[in-house]
Amino acid sequence: MKSSRLVAAFVVSLLLCWDRSLVAQAPAMVEFSALGKTQQGIPLLKLAHEMVILGRDGWMHSLDPREQSSKIHETNRPYQPISVVEFRNELRAEFRPGYEVIATQNFLVVQPEGRGDRWPKLFEQSHRAFTDYMSKRGVTIREGNFPMVAVVLPDENTMYREFRKLDIEIKRVAGLYSGESNRVMTHDGGRSEYTAATVRHEAAHQSAYNSGVHSRLSETPRWITEGIGQMFEPAGMTTARSATQLADRINRDSYDYIKQTYDGRSDYRFTQTVMQLVSDNTMFESQNSIDEAYNVSWAMMFYLAERESRKFAELLNHTSSRPPFREYSRTDRVKDFERVVGCDVAEFSKRVSWFVQSM
């Protein structure tokens, strides 16, 4: 396991701080079969029953080397990420007639033909606003090595068919970010504000995992990842005014939920919820508590970003640099959190509650 972690750590630096002179030093790729085609990538984790391989296009594959269908064998070629031109051609072949692939500075956007530049502008604007917001607060931002892929399907049914093809079991969503494929997927069948907010939420996840704010190889507490997603749902987070207008940056749905759910600035239930979120991810796994988890996570991250930006940056820089493939225990999560914020969870929850109530 130790050698696998060293390989993974090297690849993280290779992906996030790319230097062409490092190519010759990169570990050799393997060739394997996945998604119906032969591919190449670099092993990040090697176990008897599982091999995690990072494809040249940024897709993370988990394969069983014992299965003949995987057809894994070593090559003598160093790791080389896919070029934009090659990636664009692969996406055209994958989605075939009826779709076009639009390239922007940071994205390859797959969309039905004739949709114009609305979607490419939305994703590009969202990413730039995300990195600007984070860097202004001291969060380490790195240049990603893969173009980010956004797939816009023509309608909801087509989107769910794409989910099933990728073994993604989820319902009643307007879109999602898949960490495995490193893609955002949504549909063009509706223009409601809910759809737009969902896309901004999922685009924030994608930006975070491709700019080094989160790591794809180590566990980040879910209240942090989803709190950030909630933060970027408001349209004001992607406009120039967001630099000066706090009111435009507030997630009104989350704000209203908290005001209606909790009694006030000394609410015991709020403190218990914050403690549960810091400790583990269980609140996100139950339909009875998932709404509460998302909304309180927003309050926690928004408070840190807007009132304690140094601690906000330290928290994100710490979680993104944790060792690859290592479990994040309850004890370590609480200890790290209290060290970063400089107080215990109860005191922190009071500060967050006062901040929300005063807005």
The structural domain count of the chain equals 3
Residues 204 and 325 in one domain: no
Token pair 């076009």: residue = 100
Residues 90 and 64 in one domain: no
Q: Which residues, other chains included, contact 107 with Cβ-Cβ below 8 Å and sequence gap of 6+? A: 120, 123, 124, 127, 147, 148, 149, 150
Domain termination residue (choose one: 21, 46, 78): 78
Residues 353 and 233 in one domain: yes
Domain termination residue (choose one: 182, 210, 238): 210
pLDDT value for 8: 43
What element of type H or E holds 29? strand 28-34
State in Å, rounded, how far the first CA of the chain is from the last one: 48
Please check whether residue 243 lies inside any domain of the structure: yes
Please check whether residue 189 lies inside any domain of the structure: yes
Dihedral sign from CA coordinates of 42, 56, 146, 196: negative
CATH number of the domain within which 69 lies: 2.30.30
Q: Are strands 28-34 and 60-63 parallel, antiparallel or unpaired?
A: unpaired
What is the C-alpha separation between 107 and 226, in angstroms, rounded?
22
Residues 108 and 193 in one domain: yes
The one-character DSSP state at 43 is E
Please check whether residue 338 lies inside any domain of the structure: yes
Q: Which residues, other chains included, contact 189 with Cβ-Cβ below 8 Å and sequence gap of 6+? A: 154, 155, 156
Token pair 């549909």: residue = 187
Residues 52 and 104 in one domain: no
Residues 136 and 59 in one domain: no
Please check whether residue 49 lies inside any domain of the structure: yes
Would you write out the chain's pLDDT as a tens digit for each of its 359 residues?
333 443 444 444 444 444 344 444 567 899 999 988 999 999 988 888 999 999 999 999 999 988 888 789 999 998 888 999 999 999 999 998 999 999 999 999 999 999 999 999 999 999 999 999 999 999 999 987 788 999 999 999 999 999 999 889 888 899 999 999 999 999 988 667 888 899 999 999 999 999 999 999 899 999 999 999 999 999 999 876 555 688 899 999 999 999 999 976 568 899 999 999 999 999 999 999 999 999 999 999 999 999 999 999 999 999 999 998 899 999 999 999 999 999 999 999 999 999 998 98
Decide: 84 and 103 in contact? Cβ < 8 Å.
Answer: yes
Decide: 228 and 221 in contact? Cβ < 8 Å.
Answer: no
Residues 167 and 99 in one domain: yes
Which one-letter amino acid corresponds to residue 200?
R
Domain that holds residue 111: 84-210
Domain termination residue (choose one: 44, 63, 78): 78
Which one-letter amino acid corresponds to residue 129?
A
What is the C-alpha separation between 259 and 261, in angstroms, rounded?
6
Residues 174 and 121 in one domain: yes
Which one-letter amino acid corresponds to residue 103?
A
Residues 58 and 100 in one domain: no
Residues 22 and 55 in one domain: yes
pLDDT value for 263: 75
Please check whether residue 215 lies inside any domain of the structure: no
Q: Are strands 183-187 and 148-153 parallel, antiparallel or unpaired?
A: parallel
